[in-house]
Amino acid sequence: MRIAVLLGGISAERNISLLSGRNVVWALRQRGHEVLAIDPARGSQCLLSDEELAAADAALPSQQELESFSRWALVQALDAPWTGTVELVFPVLHGPYGEDGRVQALLELRGLRYVGSDMLASALAADKHTSKLLFLAAGIPTPRWMAVTAQQLEEELLEELLDELGTHLVVKPNDQGSSVGMSLLRNCTVEELREALELALRYSALALVERYIEGRELTVGILGEEALPVVEIRPGSGFYDYEHKYTAGKTEYTCPADLPPDIAEYAQNVALSAHRILGCRHFSRVDFRLDSDGQPFCLEVNTIPGMTPLSLFPRAARAAGIEFDELCERLVSLACQ
């Protein structure tokens, strides 16, 4: 089959997307497919050579680099000649303009079949505030939170946030992944909260201030309609930030997680419910915090999980006996059904 893998893109997660996409390209070629590597950030000149693909690294793009990208390039890339030559598109684009429904909408307008969630499910999952509202309505436990814009950074509101949510907080952009722009605050002051919000608001028009759940960090992958084994994440120090996610040796992973069977099964069932409530398809990864009472709190759903050698979704699949090339093949098959 002739498949186009979309990778790179114009978000702050661009370089991780290049690494994830490169793995998918190599795996699908190993399975006998003819695979094109397409970077939509490059507009009509979007086809990557094998040499360019091999040169990808995990460094976080600079603000200057991000500001140099054009959203119009995405439209140009999806109007390029390659679109008329492929049977399937496999998006491995993380973050805004890749995982948030916009590229999915362009693919649907082109009449192209693709792997992963459709436009609406992608948009809902990418909007953390909206997805948490849906979790709340469906009875899925999620940490208490408030959403803040740049116009709301007055001291009075910040003091109200600390009164409402406490001083152990997570502050993050509403529509980014890979912990970009995220801060973990303990016993924080109003000024520390302001600084964390200003960082988050560099990457998104809306920031979330979320009560920090003391406990363990878990994630559950969904493949098709089945939950994969639970992964536990133990960063060596601090919290599971960009550096800990993409630097070998910085984090310890256990899969299957060392949990009582009933808690593991409950987390898997909640993950599957969150996946379905947002309307996701083919695959996703659902992140949790597990408190000291054994209660999992759902944080978010990732509709295009990382596919790097350190990523959690392939790790969970491997624990279920599914090697990476077979995992990619299964996703292709799901999209073709």
Find, among 115, 140, 138, the residue nearest to 224 by Cα. 115
Q: Any idea what DSSP says for residue 114?
A: B
| Catalytic hit among 15, 23, 204, 302 | 302
- The answer to whether 241 is a known catalytic residue is no
- The answer to whether 284 is a known catalytic residue is no
Find, among 163, 207, 166, 201, the residue nearest to 185 by Cα. 166
The C-alpha R_g of the chain, in whole angstroms, comes to 19
| Catalytic hit among 22, 42, 285, 289 | 285
- The answer to whether 34 is a known catalytic residue is no
Task: Tell whether omega for the bond before 235 is within 30 degrees of 0, i.e. cis.
Answer: no
- The answer to whether 285 is a known catalytic residue is yes
- The answer to whether 276 is a known catalytic residue is no
| Catalytic hit among 217, 300, 315, 329 | 300
Contacts with 98 (C-beta within 8 Å, 6 or more apart), sequence order: 6, 9, 10, 11, 13, 17, 40, 91, 304
| Catalytic hit among 17, 23, 131, 178 | 178
- The answer to whether 287 is a known catalytic residue is yes
How many other C-beta atoms can be found within 10 angstroms of the C-beta atom of residue 210?
22
| Catalytic hit among 9, 11, 13, 14 | 13
- The answer to whether 311 is a known catalytic residue is no
Find, among 97, 136, 75, 80, the residue nearest to 17 by Cα. 97
Q: Are 272 and 222 in contact (CB under 8 A)?
A: yes
| Catalytic hit among 9, 98, 101, 306 | 306
The CA distance from 159 to 171, in Å, is 15
The dihedral region occupied by 49, where left means phi > 0, alpha psi between -120 and 50, and beta the remainder, is beta
- The answer to whether 211 is a known catalytic residue is no
| Catalytic hit among 97, 212, 240, 246 | 246
Q: Are 330 and 322 in contact (CB under 8 A)?
A: yes
Q: Catalytic residue positions?
A: 13, 178, 246, 285, 287, 300, 302, 306
